[in-house]
Structure 1
Amino acid sequence: MLDGVGEIERAITAAGYDVRPSHADGLASNVMISQDGAVQLVDFDEARNVDPLYEIGILLNEAFPFEEEMRPALEVFEGSFRQASLDRCRAYAAADDLMWGLWGMLMNSTSPRGDIEFLKYAQWRLLRCRMALRHPDFELKLRRL
Structure 2
Amino acid sequence: MKGLDLSFLEPKTLRSEETIEAEAHEQFLSHPSFSLAQTANPADYLNEAYGASEVARKLEFNKGTTTLAFIYDRGIVVAVDSRATQGGFIASQSVKKVIEINPYLLGTMAGGAADCKFWERDLGRICRLYELRNKERISVS
If the length of structure 1 is used for normalisation, what is the TM-score?
0.26
More strand by share: 2
If the length of structure 2 is used for normalisation, what is the TM-score?
0.26
Which is greater in Rg?
2
More helix by share: 1
Q: Flag the structure with more relative contact order, 1 or 2, with Cα contacts below 8 A and sequence separation at least 6.
A: 1
